[in-house]
Amino acid sequence: MREEDRRSPFSALATPRSAPRNLSRRTLAISAGRPEPAPDAPLNSPAVFASTYHAGGPVAYGRDGNPTWTALEDVLGTLEGGTAVAFASGMAAIDAVLQLVPVGGVVVLPSDGFGGTRALLANAQEGRWRARFVDIADTETVIAQFADAALLWIESPTNPKLDIAEIAVLAAAAHAHGLLVAVDNTYATPLAQRPLSLGADLVVHSVTKLLAGHSDVVLGAIVASEVSGLCGQLRRHRSMAGAVPGPMDAYLALRGIRTLPLRLERGEANAAILAERLAAHPQVERVRYPGLPDDPWHERASAQMETFGNMVAFEIGGGAAAAEALARSTRLVVHATSLGGIETTIERRARWPGEDAVAPSLLRLSVGCEDVEDLWTDLEHALKIAAAAAAAPDQVNVELDGPSPSDIPATNDLGIHEHETDTP
């Protein structure tokens, strides 16, 4: 590396001691990104709180670099097979990728996908981007949208319907048309799927979710190959736009990643059991989990994913009111948005504005690490309440626009509200 590059805050920062890359990723999640071993040195990279550094080094200022980010980036880059750049949130990471698109450039993206990406494009100044929405699982129609486009944005599995894109086929065709290819790998994590090895240029993460894993931090990251030249651009954008991670958040995320292999394994095992039982339940009309042998994309997922993740989507009879009653009447499964925490969470996705394309009764279940029998008992009980709500909808006070938990009155065993409450 040239001296001027070495001294630039946007060049690759000196990384902590990297573990040998021939180890399993389950091992690397634990062993990568550690400080050099030395007597009395800590085993873990500490949280370094610094806005400025003694002059003379490549970082100089806290908006350009931080050793705790670097440790997190080292682990994430190792797991994805590239170089990671951490951001203040998944949204900041998405925005940084979209800034690689020239003004007026076309972005091809899934119509079923994380709503924040669609909202970001929609809220941009008129003409900043042009969005072309596609069914990302329909390979031929996606490719038909590539003419004059700048970026292909893939989500696979998609949030929330769990559709699967043919990443390698799409990436090859996109490159032939001169598009950059980004994959939001939040649902899969690098333990289940590695988009760079399937031909993507950029991998985006909401680290907030499974990677950090404890519902206590908001953080994002992008991974690309260092030789692509993209990482320098992304670091520069991070420094200029200032969407930088806090050191404590980076520390918490790094600590979370250490247990990702254990959490994911347990969450996936639980998800497979719950998906199977939900599919057999008379109240459930449809279950989507790529690990189910009769899922429409099971074969495709098996070809490009090592495991199938912890996310399940299901639709129940009785429509929105029944689904809302179910989500609000679980006792163990937490009614909350977001996903990927150690605890199981559920929500009716269509309660959010902008999710009109999602079936009104679709429930998104992020399966955590609790005992699966406890989870099933809870869901079965909530399904009974949903059935009662479907049978007597006028007795159930269900708001469909996503009230905060404090708005939700106490319910009796059947989920039918016993009294209204003014609790703020």
Give me the residues that bind ligand PLP (CB under 6 A), please.
89-91, 114, 116, 159, 184, 186-187, 206, 208, 218, 220, 338
Residue 345's region, left for phi above 0, alpha for psi from -120 to 50, else beta, is beta
Q: DSSP alpha helices (H): ranges in 280-413?
A: 298-304, 319-329, 372-391
If the CB atoms of residues 217 and 359 are measured against ligand PLP, the closer one turns out to be 217
Write down the least CB distance from residue 104 to ligand PLP, Å. 24
Write down the least CB distance from residue 97 to ligand PLP, Å. 11
If the CB atoms of residues 154 and 387 are measured against ligand PLP, the closer one turns out to be 154
If the CB atoms of residues 11 and 366 are measured against ligand PLP, the closer one turns out to be 366
Write down the least CB distance from residue 345 to ligand PLP, Å. 12
What are the structure tokens assigned to 2, written together? 């040239």
> Letter for the amino acid at 141?
T
Write down the least CB distance from residue 210 to ligand PLP, Å. 10
Residues contacting 199, CB < 8 A, separation 6+: 167, 168, 171, 172, 175, 181
If the CB atoms of residues 119 and 176 are measured against ligand PLP, the closer one turns out to be 119
Write down the least CB distance from residue 3 to ligand PLP, Å. 36
Count CB neighbours of 20 within 10 A. 10
If the CB atoms of residues 180 and 388 are measured against ligand PLP, the closer one turns out to be 180
Instruction: Specify burial of residue 245 (Cβ count, 10 A radius: 0-12, 13-18, 19+).
Output: buried
How would you classify the pairing of strands 129-134 and 180-184? Answer: unpaired
If the CB atoms of residues 89 and 283 are measured against ligand PLP, the closer one turns out to be 89
Q: Give me the residue whose beta carbon is nearest to ligand PLP.
A: 90
What are the DSSP calls for 143-199, one per residue? Answer: HTT-TTEEEEEEESS-TTT-----HHHHHHHHHHTT-EEEEE-TTTHHHH--GGGGT
The CA distances from residue 400 to 320, 341, 419, in Å, are 7, 25, 18
Write down the least CB distance from residue 164 to ligand PLP, Å. 14
